[in-house]
A and B are shown apart, each in its own frame.
Chain A
Amino acid sequence: MIQMLHVYKNYSPKYPALSDISLNIEKGEFVFIFGPSGAGKTTLLKLIFGAEHPSKGQIIVNGMNFGRFKKSTLPLLRRKMGFVFQDFKLLNHRTVFDNVGLALEVVGIKKTEIKRRVLKVLKHVGLSSRINTVPLVLSGGEQQRVAIARAIVNEPALLLADEPTGNLDAELTKEIMKLFKIINAWGTTIVIATHDKNLLNFNPTKVVALEHGKIKGVFVTGRKGAEETATRNGSIN
């Protein structure tokens, strides 16, 4: 699903945000990008999403090489992805319904179908009662769930989530992780960026540890605790 080969990203020449990242994420995998603040997690997700471009290296997503294809295919690629942004990126003056529906609207799906699917996904994230509210008056956790709903409403092949539980309490976090697990079971590849160690315990899952823009190691965690299986700087295979 995702291949990165010796990828570098420098926002400024002196201080690299990512350096020599190589990793391989298979279709259907559930992966955490784990690391402290400033490690480069968001940058990594943005590269996969095509919102930033690598300074060096190759990125292949869903069989498409980001360096090669025409600009106009990026929107088509994005329709197969969902992205939960760290800062949500909601339209603050549109209703919850409109915000979530937007992801379907831009694909040209019929109104009745949009309604059906948006209502369904809002039920999943527990926001059925907030349909006609604007994000401006929602709590942080509620906004986060709207962002999640928008990211999954088009049933993406790949879901990228940047700190998707950063504003949620333990109970809601559990709910959302359960939701991600269900989506993963449908076959969606999931990549979650987090600095929250507790999150890693919800699933037996792969963890890519990131620090100072470099991969420190790749783990597989389970309910019984973390056990290291892969090497430093290595790739998941």
Chain B
Amino acid sequence: MKRFYYFINKAFQNLRHFFLINLITVGIISLSLLVLSTFFMVFLNLQTYLNKLRDQIQVSVYLADGNTPEDISLIQKKINSFPQVKKLSLITKEEALSFFKDSFPGQRKALENLKDNPLPASLDIQLQDEYRGSEKVKIFARQIKNIPGVEDVEYGQTWIEGYANFLKFMRSAALAVGVVILLATIFIISNTIKLTLFARKDEIEIMKLVGATNFFIRVPFFIEGILQGLLGAFFALMVLFFSYQLFSNWIGQSSYFSLKFFKIFFLPFHHLLLITAVGMITGLLGSFFSLGRYLKYE
């Protein structure tokens, strides 16, 4: 325990003693982690945004004009019996018309001159989460269309397929980019630490000459590496947070972008922990691998 206290003390002493070189190391670690966490944040936001879009998918079932109210409630019952259906709401011809009028106030005059209401009654279906895949929606739509009294089914066919492909592409692209950035981060951090160790190889050599064990030399360097990673992560996340604040303020005031149902969010807590852990672990591994060569038996 006393040994441990000594090692911690020594690590802090070294951080102070090699202040400039440590500052540079922490700066580089910060930059690497900033890139990594920015990527994380953009990806998470984009994914959440796209998922929200998907949640808005609904299937519209247009009913033939000849249906009596009894027919319609029969159709409703039939559709409700499908496991895919989460929520079903009926929009009568009259509702459809007034909805249309509200949406296109310029056309109101023209509509008032009409004898008959040209808009069909429809059923809006919200799907259960697990049936929102493009193939599944397609199958479901086909089944619904076969119900007598249903004239047409619409679900944004082309859009949903494009979306599914895009999401698939984005996931693999994000994975690839994420892995590359992570590897680059580890590479940069361990090389930076290697450089700082090079500046201290005399110290390591002399410690060995006066009888220090490898363990004794290593531990303070490991602690130092972990502290560098921790500090690097801290600064990176601070910068990210303030940039996020600035950006979301700007978005909020901007008239070009209005994401009505979506608010950009900061990295959730467990991701902050993850970034910090990446910093600390790469700091440790960086020290570990770069020390190896200076501690070889001569």
Find out whether the CB atom of B298 lies under 8 angstroms from the CB atom of A51.
Answer: yes
Find out whether the CB atom of A83 lies under 8 angstroms from the CB atom of B202.
Answer: no
B212 neighbours in A (Cβ, 8 Å): 75, 106
Flag whether B259 is at the interface (Cβ < 8 A). Answer: no
Find out whether the CB atom of B297 lies under 8 angstroms from the CB atom of A102.
Answer: no
Find out whether the CB atom of A89 lies under 8 angstroms from the CB atom of B213.
Answer: no
B211 neighbours in A (Cβ, 8 Å): 75-76, 78-79, 81, 103, 106-107, 154
Find out whether the CB atom of A103 lies under 8 angstroms from the CB atom of B210.
Answer: yes
Chain A residues engaging chain B, CB cutoff 8 angstroms: 51-52, 71-72, 74-76, 78-79, 81, 83, 85, 89-91, 93, 102-103, 106-108, 150, 154
Can you spell out 13 A-B residue pairs with CB atoms less than 8 angstroms apart?
A51-B298, A71-B297, A75-B211, A75-B212, A75-B213, A75-B214, A76-B211, A78-B209, A83-B209, A89-B202, A102-B210, A103-B211, A106-B213
Instruction: Output the least CB separation between A14 and chain B (Å).
Output: 23
Considering the chains assembled together, what is the distance between the CA atoms of A71 and B215 in angstroms?
A: 13
**On chain B, which size bracket covers the interface?**
10 to 19
A154 neighbours in B (Cβ, 8 Å): 211
Instruction: Output the least CB separation between B14 and chain A (Å).
Output: 11
Find out whether the CB atom of A74 lies under 8 angstroms from the CB atom of B206.
Answer: no
Flag whether B203 is at the interface (Cβ < 8 A). Answer: yes
Docked complex: B190-234 residues within 8 A CB-CB of A: 202-203, 205-214, 216
Q: Which residue of A lies closest to B207 (CB)?
A: A106
A74 neighbours in B (Cβ, 8 Å): 297
Flag whether B3 is at the interface (Cβ < 8 A). Answer: yes
Closest 3 CB pairs of A and B: A106-B212, A78-B211, A79-B211
Instruction: Output the least CB separation between B197 and chain A (Å).
Output: 15
Find out whether the CB atom of B205 lies under 8 angstroms from the CB atom of A102.
Answer: no
B203 neighbours in A (Cβ, 8 Å): 91
Q: Apart from A52-B298, A72-B213, A106-B207, what 17 extra A-B contacts exist at CB < 8 Å?
A: A51-B298, A72-B214, A74-B297, A75-B212, A75-B213, A75-B216, A78-B211, A83-B209, A89-B202, A89-B205, A89-B209, A90-B206, A91-B202, A93-B17, A102-B206, A103-B210, A106-B216
Instruction: Output the least CB separation between B22 and chain A (Å).
Output: 14
Kindly supply a per-residue 1/0 record for chain B positions 1-17, scoring 1 wherever the CB is within 8 Å of any chain A CB and 0 otherwise: 00100100000000001
A81 neighbours in B (Cβ, 8 Å): 211
Considering the chains assembled together, what is the distance between the CA atoms of A81 and B211 in angstroms?
A: 9
B298 neighbours in A (Cβ, 8 Å): 51-52
Docked complex: B263-298 residues within 8 A CB-CB of A: 297-298
A79 neighbours in B (Cβ, 8 Å): 211
Instruction: Output the least CB separation between A43 and chain B (Å).
Output: 14
* A51-B298, A72-B213, A75-B212 known; A102-B3 Cβ under 8 A: no
Residue among A71, A76, A106 making CB contact with B210, cutoff 8 Å = A106
B202 neighbours in A (Cβ, 8 Å): 89, 91
Considering the chains assembled together, what is the distance between the CA atoms of A91 and B207 in angstroms?
A: 10
Considering the chains assembled together, what is the distance between the CA atoms of A81 and B210 in angstroms?
A: 8
Instruction: Output the least CB separation between A127 and chain B (Å).
Output: 18
Find out whether the CB atom of A89 lies under 8 angstroms from the CB atom of B208.
Answer: no
A106 neighbours in B (Cβ, 8 Å): 207, 210-213, 216
Highest count of chain A CB atoms <10 Å: which of B3, B205, B213: B213
Residue among A52, A83, A90, A102 making CB contact with B207, cutoff 8 Å = A102
Instruction: Output the least CB separation between A97 and chain B (Å).
Output: 14
* A89-B205, A108-B3 known; A150-B297 Cβ under 8 A: no
Instruction: Output the least CB separation between A80 and chain B (Å).
Output: 8
Q: Which residue of A lies closest to B18 (CB)?
A: A93
B208 neighbours in A (Cβ, 8 Å): 75
Considering the chains assembled together, what is the distance between the CA atoms of A82 and B202 in angstroms?
A: 18
Instruction: Output the least CB separation between A155 and chain B (Å).
Output: 13
Highest count of chain A CB atoms <10 Å: which of B209, B212, B216, B298: B209
B297 neighbours in A (Cβ, 8 Å): 71, 74
B205 neighbours in A (Cβ, 8 Å): 89
Docked complex: B134-184 residues within 8 A CB-CB of A: none
Find out whether the CB atom of B17 lies under 8 angstroms from the CB atom of A89.
Answer: no
A83 neighbours in B (Cβ, 8 Å): 209
Residue among B6, B206, B214, B216 making CB contact with A89, cutoff 8 Å = B206
Instruction: Output the least CB separation between B9 and chain A (Å).
Output: 10
Instruction: Output the least CB separation between A76 and chain B (Å).
Output: 7
Docked complex: B28-75 residues within 8 A CB-CB of A: none
* A74-B297, A93-B17, A106-B216 known; A51-B209 Cβ under 8 A: yes
B206 neighbours in A (Cβ, 8 Å): 89-91, 102
Q: Which residue of B lies closest to A79 (CB)?
A: B211
Q: Which residue of A lies closest to B200 (CB)?
A: A91
Q: Which residue of A lies closest to B17 (CB)?
A: A93
